[in-house]
Structure 1
Amino acid sequence: MTQHDLDDEEDDFPEWADRIKANVAGEVRRRRKEMGWSAQDLADQCEQLGHPIPRNVIANMESGRRANLPLVDVMVLAAALETYPVCLIFPVGYVDRTQELPFQDLVPTWDALRRFTGEQDVPMYDAGLVPDFELHASLVRTALAALEEEDRARFAAKTATSRAQQEEAERKRTEYADQAISAKYSLRHLRRDLRDDGATPPDLPPALGDVDPPEPATNTTLEERH
């Protein structure tokens, strides 16, 4: 194989960073045109979001002449184009295969995106507190749904026209009440564990304001208060 052949082969396999920048540039251009915007329109929208990206910078990025692509630019471009940053980095359906890291083989873009977002587990990788927060969100949904169904069953019991209907509604109300209590109990312990790890649990909706135990009352003297 001649040196010319080697150079051609290297050109067929761009550097990882160049490939990622090409992914973003291509998807920014595609999405911009899909929205019927010019490069200036996109620049104006970025400025409105508080992070100006001049029209010539966008044009250079789309044409591959821009040397670097800061993460903050990707985030603002995604918001301006009403999409997600990961969809610019890994344009599923528009780029068939891509690289996740330098020197790695090409993989399906869909797989790369799922590993990037943590949807697909990677052995030995630390997911941090993401699984705990996902569990927290699931428990909140379960608790809220159970409370809503409990209210419906309570109303059905009050408006029942027969004893049988009333008993069935009361049975359902008790069942949903138990589900809500169970979900709240799990939430309380999960939130306690998060705090023990030094983390701040997510905010709770008003309907679940009784999940966290009340703050212990502090006895302060008049002198301490002043």
Structure 2
Amino acid sequence: MTQHRSDHGYEKDDVEDDEDDVLEWADQVMATVAAEVRRRRKELRWSAQDLADKCEEIGHPIPRNVIANMESGRRSNLPLVDVMVLAQALNTPPICLIYPVGYIDDVQRLPLQHPTSTLNALSWFTGEGAALGTDNDMLRYFRAHQAAEEQLRNAQGDEEYARYHAETAPNADRKAEALRTQAHAAQEAATAKSRLRRVRAFIRKDGVTPPYLWPDLAAEIDPPGTDPNTTEEIDL
């Protein structure tokens, strides 16, 4: 049986008000994007034709009149692909056209919701919010993988730098200090490798291919006999 809002105490006027809120919210989202496109275009001192030419260079033409109609509010829709191409043309992340942090204080994430800060809305959209209420384990795994890779690269660089200073130290005190730094960096590298192993194991357990690792690093991180580019499940 189809349930209507009136079945739960909602009257017809309430439904119409909600529909109006949805339309108003959609208009606000589009107006925000249009205003940010215009602001960024002006910042670059481009005409609408300049921006249209740039979009065509990218491979997704957006004619000058379409851009002008969007900025003036005469365009009734704005496809996501256009937002992506406009962002690339304007050399800004697409999310910053939707949630222009610093240029708008508050936005409405969804219809029927109270406004929140633009930064909070951006974090929600990108999955960085602490209380998403959704299943986003794989997103966290891949971000943890990226963080561990960065930690490993930094630690290896620090270790190499300290090793050089230990070998070229002018006295025993400087050498001892460099060796302590080298040992600390080596421990950081070992910790990062351990994190990579755990994260990659969890990713494989969910049947997903882990991010690519260079063969020499993959040989250290992945279990013996494991193809780095497989979704083979392993015991945790």
CA RMSD in angstroms comes to 2.7
Identify the residue that residue 72 of structure 1 maps to in structure 2: 81
TM-score in terms of structure 1 length: 0.80
| Among 210, 213, 222, the residue aligned to 1:212 | 222
Structure 2 alignment gaps of length 5 or more: 1-18, 228-236
2:22, 2:112 within 8 Å by CA — same for their partners in 1?
A: no
2:165, 2:175 within 8 Å by CA — same for their partners in 1?
A: yes
How many residues are matched?
A: 208
1:43, 1:53 within 8 Å by CA — same for their partners in 2?
A: yes
Q: What letter corresponds to residue 44 of structure 1 in structure 2?
A: D
Q: What letter corresponds to residue 188 of structure 2 in structure 1?
A: Q
| 2:133 is the alignment partner of 1:133 | no
For residues 179-225 of structure 1, the C-alpha deviation after alignment (integer angstroms, 9 at most, x for no partner) is 212211221221122122122222335773432345469xxxxxxxx
Bigger shift: residues 182-191 or 44-53 = 182-191
Structure 1 alignment gaps of length 5 or more: 1-9, 218-226
Identify the residue that residue 29 of structure 1 maps to in structure 2: 38
1:167 is displaced (CA, Å) by 4.4
For residues 56-94 of structure 1, the C-alpha deviation after alignment (integer angstroms, 9 at most, x for no partner) is 111111111111111000000001001111111112232
Identify the residue that residue 102 of structure 2 maps to in structure 1: 93
User: CA separation of 1:216/1:138 partners in 2, compared to 1, >3 Å: closer, same or farther?
Assistant: closer
User: CA separation of 1:103/1:148 partners in 2, compared to 1, >3 Å: closer, same or farther?
Assistant: same
| Among 42, 45, 48, the residue aligned to 1:39 | 48
Q: What letter corresponds to residue 16 of structure 1 in structure 2?
A: W
Higher RCO structure (Cα 8 Å, ≥6 apart) = 1
Identify the residue that residue 117 of structure 1 maps to in structure 2: 126
In 2: Cα distance, 1:167 partner to 1:97 partner: 54
1:104 is displaced (CA, Å) by 1.9
Q: What letter corresponds to residue 212 of structure 1 in structure 2?
A: D
Identity rate, percent? 53
Alignment of 1:169-180 (within 5 A): 169-180=178-189
User: CA separation of 1:76/1:128 partners in 2, compared to 1, >3 Å: closer, same or farther?
Assistant: farther
1:138 is displaced (CA, Å) by 1.8
TM-score in terms of structure 2 length: 0.77
1:97, 1:108 within 8 Å by CA — same for their partners in 2?
A: yes
